[in-house]
Amino acid sequence: MSVKIKSVQAHSPAARAGIRPGEILEEIDGNIIEDFLDYRFFMASENVNLLIRSDKGEDRKVHIRKGEYEDLGLEFGNDLMDEQRSCRNQCIFCFIDQMPPGMRPTLYFKDDDARLSFLYGNYITLTNLSEHDIERTIKMKISPINISVHTTNPELRCRMMHNRFAGEALKIMDRFAEAGIAMNAQLVLCPGINDGAELERTLTDLLKLTPALKTISCVPVGLTRYREGLYPLRPYTAEEAAGVVDILERVGETQLKIWGDRICYASDEFYLLAGRKIPDAAFYGDFNQLENGVGMLALQRQQFLETLPLYDGDDRQRKVSMVTGLLAAPQLRELVAMAEEKWPGVHCDVYPIINDFFGHNITVAGLVTGQDIIAQLKGKDLGETLLFPDTMLRFHTDVFLDDISQHQIEEALGVPMTSVMADDGGALLEAIIGETV
């Protein structure tokens, strides 16, 4: 396999060596380049020998001297330098299977690419890893690998994922642990299926992989209103959610004594579903599972409280508003009240958005859509700006999940919008009072 060079950075080692856009990178030091993992691994040396094929089909060898780990300066068609790998499973809880019709095609793509796990922190199931992929991961010491485990019961995993190889794939984790590859595990829990005794079994099995296994996060299944013809699932009751939290806190306490870290955590959503208070920030250690909604509210609150004393209260006059999901609204109202007490002239309305688009079982802020914001806030006095968490937007865009842009919402509501990092409590306070450090 070989990869086409899209562009060459000016003044880079590759540019100085005369490599041109449109040429083909075939090998580095005799190693065939399949994708960005090979490229990043084999280009690290100070002296590298490249095999380049010109746009006329002629091969030539190029020797380059550079700084250790300095990039060659080659850019390719996409981050992977290859096609993205799709999921081979049909999980009973798959959120993509519950998407409404008529949305952009990329929202229906099921990603299960180990390279994206390393590059962006995506979670993979291991079911489409070849022996070559496994050996390459071990050889290159690619870490961490984020794995969607769900259960360590092989038969149950096969049933939950509708893949007869899903149970066997769990053995890859043993090989990674033996090779010292760091791993994080995620469990999507479904009531009465992989919680309770099955959750206890899974935790027991996974914790045998420590210290290579760094964290385990448990999140409740997300259920939209588009489930016709899919496996019958239901939301967690408060009592069931509390049962999950109890198991994870009990096991976590044991791991804290052994390893100095809890390792296994329930997501914020489980605590809120159970009607439990979110633990303090110290409970979450290094916040290694923020992307799964583990400790996000605790970190937000801690940073808000740390930022509050940095500013003196005054008589400034300011009115703003804020949108969020139903679950996060109580904490946000509590934080807003602290700001309003210190700055009596500041007022911030918190608007929890009911998710009509995906269904009322979806209560997290990250799945709030533009059309629901417009429908529920139209005609309201939203003040100087409408604050919203950045998790509502597609990655690196100003577009919400339903393809409505921030600008379209601003025009519909007649108010500018301000994006705030969802887990940054300091930035939240500053946005409310109109300050920057």
The per-residue pLDDT for range 386-419, each reduced to its tens digit, is: 999 999 998 778 999 999 999 999 999 999 999 9
SS3 344: coil
Mean pLDDT of the chain: 90
Which of 50-59, 62-71, 301-310 shows the highest mean pLDDT?
301-310
CB 160 within 8 A of CB 194: yes
Entry pTM: 0.83
User: In the prediction, which pLDDT does 111 show?
Assistant: 63
The boundaries of every CATH 3.80.30.10 domain in the chain are 96-294
Give me the CATH topology for the region 96-294.
pyruvate-formate lyase- activating enzyme (3.80.30)
- Domain(s) of CATH 3.40.50: residues in the chain: 301-433
Inter-residue contact 147 to 161 (CB < 8 Å): no
DSSP letter assigned to residue 86: B
Mean pLDDT, rounded, for 47-74? 89
Lowest mean pLDDT among 183-187, 232-236, 293-297: 293-297
| d(C-alpha 437, C-alpha 426), whole Å | 9
Tell me which of 2.60.40, 1.10.3470, 3.40.50, 1.10.8 is the CATH number of domain 301-433.
Answer: 3.40.50
Domain 3-75 grouped into CATH 3.20.10.10: no
> Which residues lie closer than 8 Å to 237 by C-beta, 6 or more apart?
191
Rg value, the chain, Cα: 25
